[in-house]
Amino acid sequence: MRDFESENGVMLFAGVPVTDLADAFGTPVYVTDEQRIRENYRRIRDAFSAHMETAVHYACKANTNLAILSILNQEGSGIDAVSAGEVAACIRAGIPPERIMYTGVNVSDAELKAVTDMEVMINIDSESGLERLAAINRDLPVSFRITPDVGSGHSDKVVTGRRGSKFGIPMDRVVKTYLRARDLGFDIRGIHAHIGSGGQAVEPFTDMAGIMADTVNRLQDKGIDLDFIDIGGGIGVPYRMNEEEMDLEELAFDVTEIILEETDVRKLIVEPGRYIVCDSTVLLTRCVDVKDAGTKRYIGVDAGFNTLARPAMYDAYHYVAIGNRFGKAATAKYDVAGPICESGDILARDRALPKPEEGDVVVVYDAGAYGFSMSSNYNSRPLCAEVLVNDGEAELIREHEAPEDLWRNQIVPERLRR
């Protein structure tokens, strides 16, 4: 979790007072530090590239804002995309198709066709997907996602690598699937696995690397040589104060050592999403109500789980501060509650905070990953704005939705207008 400076009791984000940002752009609003994205990307690229050739593919489902994709394009990042829409967004941001790999799950024929038309590499998730892709297009390079029987993640809802997962090809059918792909004439390039999201321990990644190395060698014995091993993403970040960070240097050394010593593969792909954008962004929300409910004290804010879904969906923890009372002593514990008509609309529970007042700017930390990208129009609330800060200058990178945007694509039959 990042530390922030303050000036006259006001938190500074990338050198700009959060109160100025809230006043200028309204609330709720996501605010991103451009330089932090660049720093995080370079840190993970350099850690792995120090040991072997590595391509960093940003897992763009974490945040697909075109400005953020453009920053990563400037850095030379590749892309892990999970939908045709994500592929299209990345191409629109200038990222060349050859740096994009599509990994879908339960993919329809229509989506397979759309993705192949954009000429990106397909990372095939199932035997059915292989057969259906063969009927559509066999001229693109492919990889395969396997289920390594190793799982990791901050919640059971984000663990993806365990046996029985909906993701990937089961281990007992991997070799058979590769042989079938060869018979179908596909250009087979690599192997992929992803164990889950938000893992903080190195061991599950090395366990996965060992399984993948063994699989690569079994494929080589069958005459199938691979260009790369893709270990997916899932590298966690600390959301709590004093929480230890993932030891990135140890992770990079241990994983690459296994691949280099146990296989002939000399290229690695990693797919960080959260690690690159999570701590680059805060959510600013305005205190609109202060309530003492007897057994609870509430800070009512104008952002709810329509704006930030993670606390309600995963029981996820986000550190919060009152930006215009930064560094002041706490007076009591509060729940930070949003405006959604649901009891579960709580952004933070039992947080020791300074005495709040209506109009205060509440800052929700580490909101860059799966913040805006999971937001919704629930309760008919327009989506919020996004802002990018660089060198002390703030720029709007997504406008607030207007109420009329909520019904733009709706059609009322003429018979109901009478």
CATH of the domain at 366: 2.40.37.10
Q: Do 69 and 110 share a domain, yes or no?
A: yes
Where would I find the H helices in 271-400? Answer: 274-277, 310-314
Q: Do 82 and 212 share a domain, yes or no?
A: yes
Pairing label, strands 281-292, 29-33: antiparallel
Task: State the total domains in the chain.
Answer: 2
Q: Do 290 and 246 share a domain, yes or no?
A: no
pLDDT of residue 157: 47
Residue whose structure tokens are 């060349």: 96
* CATH code of the domain containing 182: 3.20.20.10
User: Does residue 312 fall inside a structural domain?
Assistant: yes
Q: What are the pLDDT digits (tens) for 27-60?
A: 999 999 999 999 999 999 999 999 999 999 999 9
Which one of 60, 90, 278, 341 is the catalytic residue?
341
Q: Do 19 and 50 share a domain, yes or no?
A: no
Q: Do 140 and 220 share a domain, yes or no?
A: yes
User: Does residue 414 fall inside a structural domain?
Assistant: no
User: Does residue 230 fall inside a structural domain?
Assistant: yes
Q: What are the pLDDT digits (tens) for 189-230?
A: 999 999 876 677 899 899 999 999 999 999 999 999 999 999
Task: Write the CA distances from 226 to 124, 171, 178, 220, integer angstroms.
Answer: 15, 17, 11, 8
**Three-class secondary structure of residue 405 per DSSP:** helix
Q: Do 19 and 111 share a domain, yes or no?
A: no
pTM score of the predicted model: 0.95
User: Does residue 337 fall inside a structural domain?
Assistant: yes
Pick from 247, 274, 301: which residue ends a domain? 274
Pick from 240, 274, 308: which residue ends a domain? 274
Helices (H) then strands (E): counts for the chain:
11, 21
Q: What are the pLDDT digits (tens) for 356-405?
A: 999 999 999 999 999 999 999 999 999 999 999 999 999 999 999 999 99
Residue whose structure tokens are 């580490």: 366
Q: What are the pLDDT digits (tens) for 236-279?
A: 899 999 898 889 999 999 999 999 999 999 999 999 999 999 99
Task: Give yes or no: 90 in active site.
Answer: no
Pick from 250, 274, 298: which residue ends a domain? 274
Q: Do 198 and 210 share a domain, yes or no?
A: yes
What residues have CB less than 8 Å from 280, skipping those under 6 apart?
32, 33, 34, 36, 37, 40, 368
Phi-psi category of residue 370: left, alpha or beta, with phi > 0 → left and psi -120 to 50 → alpha: left
Q: Do 217 and 365 share a domain, yes or no?
A: no
User: Does residue 416 fall inside a structural domain?
Assistant: no
Is residue 282 within 8 Å of residue 365, measured between CB atoms? yes
What mean pLDDT do residues 301-320 have?
Answer: 97
Q: Do 309 and 238 share a domain, yes or no?
A: no
Provide the residue range defining the domain that includes 384.
6-32+278-407
Q: Do 325 and 393 share a domain, yes or no?
A: yes
pLDDT band at 166 (very low <50, low <70, confident <90, very high): confident
User: Does residue 165 fall inside a structural domain?
Assistant: yes
Rounded-to-integer distance, Cα 142 and Cα 138, Å? 9
Instruction: Find the helix packing angle between 248-262 and 203-221, rounded to 10°.
Output: 20
User: Does residue 417 fall inside a structural domain?
Assistant: no
Is residue 331 within 8 Å of residue 355, measured between CB atoms? yes
Q: Do 398 and 270 share a domain, yes or no?
A: no
Phi-psi category of residue 384: left, alpha or beta, with phi > 0 → left and psi -120 to 50 → alpha: beta
Mean pLDDT of the chain: 95
Rounded-to-integer distance, Cα 264 and Cα 266, Å? 6
Nearest to 400 by CA among 104, 28, 21: 28
Q: In what order do the strands lie in the sheet with 16-17?
A: 6-7, 10-13, 16-17
pLDDT band at 300 (very low <50, low <70, confident <90, very high): very high
pLDDT of residue 158: 45
